[in-house]
Structure 1
Amino acid sequence: MSIVNEPPIYLQQRLFYRGRKFNFDVNSLRLPNGVEGDWECIRHPGGALAVPITPEGKLVLVKQYRFAVEGRLLEFPAGTLEPNEEAAETIKREIEEETGYRAHKWHFLGKFPLAPGYSDEYIYPFLAQDLEKLEQPPTQDEDEDIEVVLMTFSEFEAAIIAGELIDAKSITSFLMAKLFLGK
């Protein structure tokens, strides 16, 4: 099932903030059903994510400090798309920087909106297999506080059920990878 594109009519668009990773604007709109009003939106270029699986069948995750939730989240490696960059390029760079692994087999799992109530960001998840541990991994970005974590599928599922701090994009992408693999 695909979503039918029904754009609103923009009556007025106002940029409130231009940031390093995203912009924030307020829009006066007429929706397809005729309702008019003001809506705020975070404009984001999108992100690519990998669900990496080692040859031994372990998931490669990162525990990353996220200031917005004031804590460390368990996540799959991911990154923001750079201007004019394909999602596959983004994630191949990010998996090496964040985990120290290189994948030799990739499968695109689709795309999904992350928080469509207030953002236009899409996540592009990939299954990353045939991993190789790099002897000299690239340096992590200076603003990232990351620890690599290996887990089995059942350990990750138990963490989800236990309510550990795991972000939604990782849970969704895990389910997509699991369905693709027929697990």
Structure 2
Amino acid sequence: MSKFEEKTNHTEIIYKGKIIQLQVDTVTLPDGQTSKRELIKHPGAVAIIALTDEGKIVFVEQYRKALEKSILEIPAGKLESGEKPEVTALRELEEETGYTTDRLNLITSFYTSPGFADELVHLYYTDQLKPLKEAASLDEDEFVEMQELTLEEAEQLASMHRIHDAKTAYALLYLSLKGNAK
């Protein structure tokens, strides 16, 4: 056991939904005391940095109920059970943007909120977009609108909180450091 590890003594599942599971774990702390941890279990997700031939970044705008507002985000979606992240990434790119690609490069994977959730996001990059011959269908409860923006336009919208989520902020930082987006 590492010096910071917490040993789980009991898990109580509070809620099990389509996307998340909420549980409360009773744990033994490194000093021998016990405590409770409220945790969200998530199957993981993907996000895609997609650049057009003109070097514009592909975004989708959608309403986020948790925020009670619409924001612009890079295309993304939840992993389905047993699905490989690159398969999810291609499916989400096609469904949300009308583009496909033969080349997705994994940039990195990161935890979104490790203090209470185990969601791991796999971030992909492509600059080899091709329009789909026939549009893919969105999920029945999903409403999005695609937009293509320059890095400068996206950074301006981020300063106005129209782009306001971690995966998209990470993508903008990546592109800024890479110097690829026009």
Quickly say closer, same or farther: Cα 1:114–1:5, change in 2 above 3 A. farther
Residues 19-55 of structure 1, C-alpha deviation per residue, up to 9 Å, x if partnerless? 0011000000123454420010010011000010001
Corresponding position: 1:31 with 2:53: no
Which runs of 5 or more structure 1 residues have no equivalent in the other structure?
none
Alignment partner of 2:130 out of 129, 132, 135: 132
Letter in 2 for 1:153: L
Alignment partner of 2:62 out of 61, 64, 72: 64
TM-score (norm: length of structure 2): 0.91
> Cα offset for 1:159?
1.1
Which runs of 5 or more structure 2 residues have no equivalent in the other structure?
none
1:11 maps to which residue?
A: 9
1:152 maps to which residue?
A: 150
Does the Cα contact within 8 Å between 2:55 and 2:180 map onto a contact in 1? no
Does the Cα contact within 8 Å between 1:62 and 1:99 map onto a contact in 2? yes
> Cα offset for 1:71?
1.4
Displaced runs of 4+ in structure 1, greater than 6 A?
Answer: none
User: Number of residues paired by the alignment?
Assistant: 180
Alignment partner of 1:98 out of 96, 99, 109: 96
2:119 maps to which residue?
A: 121
| Separation (CA, whole Å) in 2 of partners of 1:71 and 1:178 | 26
> Cα offset for 1:176?
2.8
- When the two chains are superposed, the root-mean-square deviation of aligned CA atoms in Å is 2.0
Determine what percentage of the aligned residue pairs are the same residue: 33
Quickly say closer, same or farther: Cα 1:151–1:168, change in 2 above 3 A. same
| Separation (CA, whole Å) in 1 of partners of 2:160 and 2:110 | 25
